[in-house]
Amino acid sequence: EFRRVLFRSAALVRHLAAQRCQVSYLAVDAGAALVLTSAQAVSETPGVRCRRLVADLDALDGFADFVEAQGADVNILCAFGILPNTDPHTFVGRIAGWAGPADWVVLSANLYDPSHDESALGTILPQYDNAETRHWLATFFTELDWPVRGSDLRFSLDTRSTPARIQAHLTLSEAVNVTLSERSIAVPAGSQFDVFFSNRFLSGEVPEFVARHGLAVVDSAMTAERVEAVWVCQRRGADE
């Protein structure tokens, strides 16, 4: 049962509340809409105190002190859907620093598994390299009145690093100007932009990856499709 609820924080909260645990839930995200959606998902769970925090996750330097000040016996720090689109080294190091010796860190990540499908990344790539995604990514530039079309984007796979990364790049075909704070900046033709990336782990890479940041995996769960997994971690040495 516990493994089945790991993939969504709201399901985990409801599970803990059903076990008669005293639960206080803090929804944290960079956007107000996402915070409200997360909080709403647990708002009707009996006995759960819910609070909201809109914050830049890369700027929460005092968050460890904030967590400690809540006075909870155990904190469960859930990071769902973050590792695919952030620097995983920086973020895992940061969340490990927020966790106390008795706390738990729950991380989700997208996967690829060559042993299951030798062309795993090649099969995944069309999920990103398609007309709808190209149009969505190009919208940022078209709203600036830049002559960019979805077909101008180039997708690539980088399997040399951990995790592997799917990336979208743009090379300007002609010079443009952008105005920032009433200042016009010339952007020459040939300028290159990294527009998008999505990280993909091999499932076996994660325990070693989080260990570099002081965490130890104590349990995990994987979807039947083997494209997403969740790892439950504690600070290394916490059980000693």
Print pLDDT tens along the chain (240 aa). 444 444 578 888 888 888 888 888 988 888 899 899 988 888 888 888 888 988 887 777 788 888 888 788 888 999 988 899 999 999 999 999 988 889 999 999 998 876 555 455 667 888 899 999 999 999 999 998 898 999 999 998 888 888 999 999 999 999 998 888 888 899 999 999 999 999 999 888 999 999 999 999 999 988 888 889 999 999 887 554
Q: Which residue bears the tokens 């990071």? A: 79
Output the pLDDT for position 121: 62
Output the pLDDT for position 219: 92
Output the pLDDT for position 18: 87
Three-state SS sequence of the chain: CCHHHCCCHHHHHHHHHHCCCCCEEEEEECCHHHHHHHHHHHCCCCCCEEEEEECCHHHCCCHHHHHHHCCCCCCEEEECCCHHHCCHHHHHHHHHHHCCCCCEEEEEEEECCCCCCCCHHHHHHHHCCCHHHHHHHHHHHHCCCCCCCHHHEEEEEECCCCCEEEEEEEECCCCEEEEECCEEEEECCCCEEEEEEEEEECHHHHHHHHHCCCEEEEEEEECCCCCEEEEEEEECCCCC
Pair 95, 82: CB distance under 8 Å: no
Partner residues linked to 49 by β-bridges = 24
Total-model pTM: 0.82
Quote the radius of gyration of the chain (alpha carbons, Å).
Answer: 21
Q: How far is CA 13 from CA 65, 106, 182, in A?
A: 23, 13, 48
Output the pLDDT for position 186: 93
Neighbour tally for 110: CB within 10 Å: 19
* CA–CA dist 221, 8 (Å, integer): 12
Q: Which residue bears the tokens 């008795």? A: 102
Neighbour tally for 168: CB within 10 Å: 20
